[in-house]
Amino acid sequence: MLSSFYPAVSGRTSDSLSRNRSLFQVQAGRLAVQRLEEQISTGRRISSPSQDPGAAIRTIGIQRDLEFRDQAIRNLDSSQSYLNVTEATLANVQDIMTEIRGLGVESAGNLASDEERNGWISQINASIERLTSAANSRHLDRYLFSGGGVGGETVDVLNGLVRFKGNDASLLTIANEGEYVAHNVTGQRALGLISDGIVSNSNLNPAAVPSTRLTDLNQGRGISNGAIVISDGVEKVTVDLANSDTLDDVLQRINDSAPISGREIQATLNNGVLEIGFADGGPGNIRITESSTGTTAADLGILADSPGVAAPKIGGALNPILRPTTRLNQLNGGLGFALTDSLRIQQNGRSYDIAVGNATTIEDLNNKINASGARVLAEITPDGRSFRIRSTESGSNLSISDGAGDLASQLGLRSFHGQTRLDQLNFNQGVTLADGPDLRITRNDGSEFLVDLNGSVTVQDVLSRINNHSDNQNLATQIFATLNAAGTGIALQSAEYVVDPLGPPLTTTPGPITVQNAGGSQAAWDLGLIPKGSTNVTATTVAGVYTVTGTDPNPQEVKGVFNTLVRLREAIQNKDSVAIGRAVDLADQDLQRLSLTRSSLGVQQQRIDNLKEIQEVTRIELKADESRNLDTDLAQAITDLTARQAAYEASLKLLSNSSQLTLFNYL
Domain boundaries, the chain: 63-194+562-616, 214-314, 328-415, 423-549
Distance CA 142, CA 80 (A): 15
Q: Are 401 and 346 in contact (CB under 8 A)?
A: yes
User: What ranges in 220-361 are assigned the alpha helix state H?
Assistant: 247-255, 296-299, 331-334
What is the structure's pLDDT at 110?
67
* Amino acid (1-letter code) at residue 639: T
Give every CB contact of residue 189 below 8 A, 6+ residues apart in sequence. Answer: 168, 597
- Looking at residue 50, what DSSP letter applies? G
Count CA atoms closer than 13 A to 245's CA, side-chain side.
1
What is the structure's pLDDT at 660?
63
Q: Pick 63-194+562-616's CATH classification: 1.10.3720.10, 3.10.330.10, 3.30.70.250, 1.20.1330.10.
A: 1.20.1330.10
What backbone phi and psi angles, to 5 degrees, belong to 576?
-100, 100
Beta-strand relationship, 161-164 and 393-394: antiparallel
- Please list the ranges in the chain whose pLDDT falls under 70: 1-19, 36, 39, 110, 633, 637, 648, 654-667
Distances (CA, A) of 195 to 144, 312, 397: 20, 49, 10
Nearest to 272 by CA among 302, 241, 317: 317
Query: pTM of the predicted model, to two decimals?
Result: 0.83
What is the structure's pLDDT at 405?
86
* Amino acid (1-letter code) at residue 115: E
Burial label for 200, CB within 10 Å (0-12, 13-18, 19+), is: buried
What is the structure's pLDDT at 63?
87
Distances (CA, A) of 519 to 73, 439, 479: 70, 8, 21
What backbone phi and psi angles, to 5 degrees, belong to 484?
-55, 130
Nearest to 491 by CA among 439, 451, 528, 442: 528
Distances (CA, A) of 649 to 1, 23, 323, 645, 646: 14, 12, 83, 6, 5
- Give exposure, 549-585, as e/b (b: 16+ Cβ within 10 Å): bbbbbbbbbbbbbbbbbbbbbbbbeeebeebbebbbe
What is the structure's pLDDT at 1?
44
What is the structure's pLDDT at 311?
84
Q: Are 170 and 147 in contact (CB under 8 A)?
A: yes
